[in-house]
Chains A and B, each alone.
Chain A
Amino acid sequence: MGMGKKILDFFLSLRTALWLLFVLLCIILYGSFIMPLKEEFQTLHVMPLFQWMADNPLGSVWWLWAAVGVLSLLTANTLVCSIESVMKKTGARNMLLTLSPQVIHIGFLFVLLAHLFSSYGSFKETGFVARGTTVPLSDGTSVLFEEIKADIDSSGYVGDWSAGISYLREGVRFKSDIIRPNSPSFHGGYGIYIKTVRFQPLPVALIEVSRDPGAMWALIGGILFLSGMTTLLALKIKKEQ
């Protein structure tokens, strides 16, 4: 038996998938307990994952590298199994039933791809800004923070907060927006998020400027996954009836 055939059989095996999932589960399980204990993980989401992993000691982040390795093998396993399944069942009476699980797999792969893009090319910058502050974006646009507001009731509870912003190009305003929790402003692939506000000693807002190139892929992956799953369930129920 040739080496290529051995490798193909390895990736075609359900046993391989199960072992990979088992190892992945063990790694993530370990990580979930380690992350709250080590201080370096507090900065995990403030920079691209791969950059963060490269900047931190291997002794702390080995499990993340291991997870990336196992996920790569799982990706190959999913791809090979899906291709084989479609090839085997070409011409089957109910093609939709054959294709639905593969659509689910493609959705899963899109989500993995999304994480890969985000881990490599995301951008995050966080900081406090006061009224009148200008934050430059990489495309030459500046964001001017014109107003910082909060709704505070009589008991001192902050019910809402927002900031009025304007986008400037060469000092000329071309777009205005209001950002509040769950309602960021987007421009040129960047999102401007308001996290919280403070009014002492002067009004400032905690702002995050971020770019997440994987977000759209994750959304597409999620939609594919759910469409595949809904179709599969509907067909199975119909078959049972």
Chain B
Amino acid sequence: MEIYLFEIALTFYFAAAIVCVMEFFKGTRTTSIILLSLAVIGFLFHSSNIIARYVISGHIPIANLHEASSFFSWCIVMIFLFLEYRYRIGLLGSFIMPVVFILMLSSSMLPRKMEPLSPVLQSYWLGIHTVLAFVGDAAFAMAFGIGVMYLLQEHFVKSKHLGGLFQRLPSLQILDEINYKLITLGFPLLTLAIITGALWAESAWGSYWRWDPKEVWSLITWFIYAVVLHVRLIAGWRGKRAAILSILGFCAVLFTFFGVNFILQSKHVF
């Protein structure tokens, strides 16, 4: 049952990704409504899949890379829908839903078997630490999307291409403001995720810091976003520089999430 829910969600996200392309090149009010509807329906099936896995396994379904990628996508869609509700940027979906679909597609290709948790993972910290990390990362993913939109819009302004896409993208000021808000949401969550991870490591392994590649890369990501906030608040770095830094930061997030698992050796399950 839960497998079908996942597949249905994936199908809706795929349809949303296709509509995104149409929306990007020739968006109308109808395509925006269809895109949003597909995303909402996909999100509902996706939520049901996560709940079903939770009920079956008895723990929060973030225990392997398949579940983690799926949960990460779910968090991104959740924040996307919130931003849609709050700011009504129809075109935002064109920058986010393809990322969601790629994440879900990669999740679908990973082993889905629900295995019992190892004794070390049977801790309330699993839910707290991972949920904080994923919601924080999802905020950074959205900041990435907004950053790309900012660079595109700035390009249109500078090259005086004030046509269709320029009209449909929000103003540079709004994009910059949303970017900043997303980073101020993501940074405390990432900090909390690192702190709760350290507390868990102390109770499980007797050491709050073990130089594990995942820990090191989380620290790298944390430093990047700390720089983003510092230069913004103290030196007034806004706009293009902030957008570029948020794109760079999300590259670090992606490497922490996927790269560390595939290239480096980590004690973390995902």
Contacts and interface: CB of A to CB of B under 8 A. Distances in A.
A184 interface: yes
Interface residues of A, number: 51
Interface in A152-172: 153, 157-161
20 contacts: A18-B227, A21-B227, A25-B223, A25-B224, A33-B264, A35-B211, A35-B213, A114-B208, A157-B116, A160-B119, A181-B119, A182-B122, A182-B123, A212-B208, A214-B208, A215-B202, A218-B198, A218-B209, A229-B188, A229-B191
A208 B264 CA distance: 25
Contacts of B235: 14
Interface in B231-267: 231, 233-235, 264-265
Contacts of B204: 181-182, 193
B269 interface: no
A122 B265 CA distance: 25
A193 B207 CA distance: 10
B202 to A, nearest CB: 6
Contact of B188 (A18, A21, A157, A233): A233
Given A25-B223, A28-B219, A36-B213, A181 B120 contact: yes
A115 B202 CA distance: 13
Given A18-B230, A41-B211, A161-B119, 19 more contacts: A14-B234, A21-B223, A24-B223, A25-B223, A29-B220, A31-B216, A35-B264, A45-B211, A115-B209, A118-B208, A122-B207, A124-B206, A159-B116, A160-B119, A182-B122, A215-B208, A218-B198, A226-B188, A233-B188
B156 interface: no
B87 interface: no
Interface string A199-241: 0000000001010101100110010011001100100100000
Given A45-B210, A212-B202, A225 B230 contact: no
B195 interface: yes
B245 to A, nearest CB: 11
B166 interface: no
A106 interface: no
Contacts of A118: 207-209
A33 B260 CA distance: 10
A218 B206 contact: no
A222 B120 contact: no
B11 interface: no
Contacts of A159: 116, 119
A77 to B, nearest CB: 11
| B116, B123, B206, B213: residue with the most chain A Cβ atoms closer than 10 Å | B206
A158 B203 contact: no
A90 interface: no
B139 to A, nearest CB: 13
A56 to B, nearest CB: 13
A45 B226 CA distance: 27
B64 interface: no
Contacts of A183: 203
Interface in B129-184: 184
A32 B192 contact: no
A88 B119 CA distance: 53
A14 B217 contact: no
A218 B123 CA distance: 21
A114 B199 CA distance: 13
A93 to B, nearest CB: 18
B212 to A, nearest CB: 9
B202 A14 contact: no
Contacts of B125: 182
A181 B122 contact: yes
A17 B208 contact: no
Contacts of A229: 187-188, 191
A32 B213 contact: yes
Contacts of A29: 220
A233 B184 contact: yes
A11 B182 CA distance: 30
Given A25-B224, A225-B191, A182 B203 contact: yes
A180 interface: yes
Contacts of A115: 209
Nearest to B202: A215
A153 B115 CA distance: 13
8 A-B pairs with least C-beta separation: A210-B206, A181-B119, A222-B195, A32-B216, A182-B123, A193-B206, A45-B210, A181-B120
